[in-house]
């Protein structure tokens, strides 16, 4: 980042064709979820709150979809062998993005829980790639 010129905007360049997967895509959406939950808490206007609920709903859905794609499309049998809890982790993460989790929930803790699970997934993801490029 010398000279402030961002050379790589995100760590989506891996050394080999990576299929352009990145847990970051789910994370953006989960961040929006949490942010809208916080904004919901600090604004009592009913129109604002209705919009916030709508946006939480959509963004939680998008987070869920990005996680599903990552689970089915990126991960391979050898990863599951090495990380036997991977399926369960994704299951809990997608549940955390759904009803009973962050969806329909105006408590930012539910958004944070989703973010934490995505971070756990990201850790495994970058390990499978031999570390995250700095």
**99 by DSSP, 3-state: which?**
strand
Q: Out of 15, 80, 110, 111, which residue is the one contacting a copy of itself (CB under 8 A)?
A: 80
CA distance 26 to 132: 17
- Kindly report the number of other CB atoms within 10 A of residue 92's CB atom: 16
DSSP per position, 1-63: -GGG--S-SSTT--SS--TT--THHHHHHHHHHHHHHHHHHT---HHHHHHHHHHHHHHHHHH
70 forms beta bridges with none
Minimum Å distance from CB 68 to a copy of itself?
A: 4
Q: Least distance from C-beta 13 to a copy of itself, angstroms?
A: 6
Taking the complex as a whole, how short is the minimal distance between the CB of residue 130 and a copy of itself, in angstroms?
A: 9
* Minimum CB–partner distance for residue 19 and a copy of itself (Å): 8
- Residues of this chain that interact with a copy of itself (CB under 8 A) are 1, 4-13, 17, 19-20, 22-25, 27-28, 31-32, 35, 46-51, 53-54, 57, 64-65, 68, 71-73, 80, 87-88, 91, 94-95, 98-99, 103-106, 118-119, 122-123, 126-127, 131-134
């Amino acid at each position: 980042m010398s000279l402030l010129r961002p050379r790589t905007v995100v760590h989506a360049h891996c050394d080999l064709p990576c299929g352009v997967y990145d847990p970051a895509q789910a994370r953006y959406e989960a961040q929006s979820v949490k942010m809208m939950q916080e904004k919901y808490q600090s604004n009592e206007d009913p129109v604002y709150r209705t919009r916030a609920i709508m946006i939480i709903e959509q963004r939680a859905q998008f987070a869920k979809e990005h996680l599903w794609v990552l689970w089915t499309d990126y991960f391979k049998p050898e990863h599951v062998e090495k990380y036997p809890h991977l399926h369960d982790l994704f299951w809990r993460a997608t549940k955390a993005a759904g009803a009973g989790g962050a969806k329909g929930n105006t408590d930012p803790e539910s958004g944070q829980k989703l973010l934490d699970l995505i971070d756990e997934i990201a850790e495994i993801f970058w390990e499978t790639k031999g570390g995250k490029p700095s």
